[in-house]
């Protein structure tokens, strides 16, 4: 199962995320659920870092991607990260046994 934790500020803005695991619905390299989650999370990381030029801490490995904003979220980071979350929620709807999303305030 893919576990996704969305980290929220006390005001409800997304400050980062952690995605770990594999859906195990198909062979490695042929799993559309894993590919979708990977595409959304990697695109969000690239959008925030490369397009918006925001400083982030991140780590990436097979089946794992973590990203945390170094500064406070703003309207632009929120737009990218909320769009990622919308896509992830749609994937979780079609594959609820393969993707679990939780939000953590703090």
| Domains, the chain, ordered by start | 2-105 (3.30.70.1490)
Mean pLDDT of all residues in 62-71: 96
Whether the pLDDT of residue 9 is over 80: the answer is yes
Q: What is the 3-state secondary structure (H, E, C) of the chain?
A: CEEEEEEECCCCCEEEEEEECCCCCCCCCCCHHHHHHHHHHHHHHHHHHHHCCCCEEEEEECCEEEEEECCCCCHHHHHHHHHHHHHHHHHHHHCCCCEEEEEEEC
Average per-residue pLDDT for the chain = 95
Q: pLDDT digits over 44-61, tens only?
A: 999 999 999 999 999 999
Q: pLDDT digits over 30-39, tens only?
A: 789 999 999 9
Tokens matching residue 98: 């393969």
CA dist 88 and 99 (Å) reads 8
Whole-number percent of the chain with pLDDT over 90: 88
């Amino acid at each position: 199962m893919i576990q996704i934790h969305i980290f929220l500020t006390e005001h409800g803005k997304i400050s980062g995320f952690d995605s770990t695991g594999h859906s195990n619905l198909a062979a490695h390299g042929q799993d559309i659920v894993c590919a979708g989650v990977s595409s959304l999370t990697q695109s969000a990381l690239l959008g925030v870092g490369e397009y918006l030029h925001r400083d982030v801490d991140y780590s990436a490995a097979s089946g794992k991607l973590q990203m945390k904003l170094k500064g406070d979220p703003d309207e632009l980071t929120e737009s990218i990260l909320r769009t990622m979350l919308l896509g992830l929620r749609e994937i979780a709807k079609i594959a609820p046994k393969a993707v679990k999303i939780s939000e953590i305030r703090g």
